[in-house]
Homo-oligomer: A and B are copies of this chain.
Amino acid sequence: MNSKTEDVQLNDRPARSLDAFDRKILGALTEDARLTYAEIGQAVGLSAPAVHERVKRLKAAGALIGTAARIDATSVGKPFLAFVHVDADGWGKSQRMMKLKAFPEVEEIHSVAGDTCVVLKVRTANAQAMEQFLSQLYVLPGVRGTRSFVVLSTYLERPVQAGITTNWPLIPLPPE
């Protein structure tokens, strides 16, 4: 039932036109991905089969990538979190950093500011494991240096919110 092409998303079209129902459904699934279609329908004002069809459409359109368990990192032995900024030259904007996907410690890979800098989110068992990971980074060609930001405590960590973008202002600007 799992697609082998889960890594690649060929979204030819931006998959536009999510109406209010779609957003509510996505919002509900964001809070609990195991909600019943009947429960979702009851929450958004639709019948269960209607919700089911919309979920299929959202999946096919690429708006719904999938569902995942949210796991407490400490419980699985990875309490050490850090954001690693990687300076690299001639980093061919592509294939090379994909090797980092092989490390289960690496949760995020973003290129920042003209594919010369990369931001990594890395979660390890302890500082020593983080150090070993960093040493592995330097064997990649083009890596000039790294700067790590060790997380002391996490106050918020949640998935992408489907809700409408906030219409500011919420707080009045200071009078200067």
Contact = CB atoms under 8 A, between A and B. Distances in A.
Nearest to A73: B160
B102 A170 contact: yes
**Consensus secondary structure, chain A interface:** mixed
Interface in A158-174: 158-163, 165-166, 168-174
- Report, as a range, how many residues of chain A touch the other chain: 35 or more
| Count of this chain's copies in the oligomeric assembly | 2
Given A14-B75, A76-B23, A33 B67 contact: yes
A153 B97 CA distance: 12
Given A107-B157, A160-B123, A71 B26 contact: yes
A108 B73 CA distance: 15
A146 to B, nearest CB: 14
A115 B155 contact: no
A100 interface: yes
Interface string A113-124: 111010100011
